[in-house]
Structure 1
Amino acid sequence: MNKSEVIWPDYYHPKHSHIHVRSQIEIPEPPEVVWQHLVRAHEWPAWRDGKTMVQILSGDSTLCKNTMFRWKASWLDFHCTVVEYTQHQRLAWKGKKGGVDMYHAWVLEPTKTGCSIVTESTQRGGMTWLTKYFAPKRLRRYQLKWLEELCRQSHGHCGK
């Protein structure tokens, strides 16, 4: 397995999901700098002009293993639990909304000029058999905006 690949729990693996979206960006900051912004969930709403809401349900405002939180963004609204946490390298949470199960993972890998950030998410169950026809495009746009904002938070701007 490549270091930049997500370690999928079998249940959430893309081969078992109706929806799978992967996005990637490289930024000129080391993983340690990016990580500090990624795990501060309470700051996410400020990134998106109030279009995102995060409510920490257990733990403090910085995500760590087993932190439970509610994450609402646009049409997404999930109760999540952090299930993977390797400081400066890997972060993943699973979430649930009604009959839909989701998994969202982040992998940070150092490069010669900063770091590569990969984010992937899957959804299964509920109406995903139907939403798979339009949701992936919307999720990809959302992921790309989030990656660009993570770049801005970490570096001050994000070149295109």
Structure 2
Amino acid sequence: MTSSLRLWARETASLVSEFDQWPHDEQPAGAKVFAHNERIIPAPPERVWDLLVDAQGWSAFYANAHFVELADPQQHRLEHGSVFRWVTFGMPLTSEVNPCKRPHLIGWRWWGRWWGRGTHGYHVWLLEPHECGTRVVTEETQRGALPGMTRPIMQPLLRLAHGYWLRQLERQVSGLLQPVEPRVALR
């Protein structure tokens, strides 16, 4: 297979998890919603990693990340134990990073705030060196009444959103996107 063909076929979605270190109460088995997406991004893992740990910069390239704010104002990048608040899919969330192993693995447990209370999940990113750059895998589980009620919509929507996030991540790494003005924090 030629490199150009590999790059053309570089994005997939699945219902099978590759991650084997899920928190015991956030594993895909039994989750109301689960998504697995992956993409080959033509850049080294360190470049992709730098964008992923800059959570406050996500909204510059991922339109579904709003009002991202780290709990510790002295922190500028996600690291093990970081807590951040943000809005995604219209739901205000709090997230806590665990694990964080540069430049290959970052995950965060999240839970809904305000009207999203009782909703929780886990989101993980795996970065592997690949002959064409970096293989990026993102997986997420969702639990609670809201994901249960919205599963027929949320399951495909989450896969679409993560596919979009991966494509935008690639465009940002490649320098194809222009930064946008940051939004005012929402508490």
Q: TM-score, normalised by structure 1?
A: 0.89
Name the Cα RMSD after superposition. Answer: 1.9
Percentage identity across aligned positions?
A: 31
Please state if 1:82 is matched with 2:97. Answer: yes
2:161 corresponds in structure 1 to 142
Larger proportion of strand = 1
Q: Secondary structure at the match of 2:170?
A: helix
Stretches of structure 1 that go unaligned for 5 or more consecutive residues are none
Counterparts in 2 of 1:8-157, with a 5 A limit?
A: 8-48=22-62, 52-58=66-72, 60-97=75-112, 98-157=117-176
Query: What secondary structure sits across from 1:72 in the alignment?
Result: strand
- Count how many residue pairs are aligned between Structure 1 and Structure 2: 155
Relative to 1, partners in 2 of residues 1:41 and 1:13: Cα closer, same or farther, differing over 3 Å?
same
Contact 2:48–2:169 (Cα < 8 Å) also in 1: yes
Structure 2 unpaired stretches of 5+: 1-16, 178-187
The alpha-carbon deviation at position 91 of structure 1 amounts to 0.3
Flag the 1:117–1:54 CA change in 2: closer, same or farther, 3 A. Answer: same
Q: Secondary structure in 1 aligned to 2:22?
A: coil
| Larger displacement relative to structure 2 (126-135 or 105-114) | 126-135
CA distance in 2, matches of 1:71, 1:148: 21
| Range that drifts further, 142-151 or 49-58 | 49-58
Q: Tell which structure's C-alpha radius of gyration is larger.
A: 2
Task: After superposition, give the CA deviation of every residue in 1:49-87 in whole Å (9 maximum; x if it has no partner).
Answer: 586220111251200000000121232321010011010
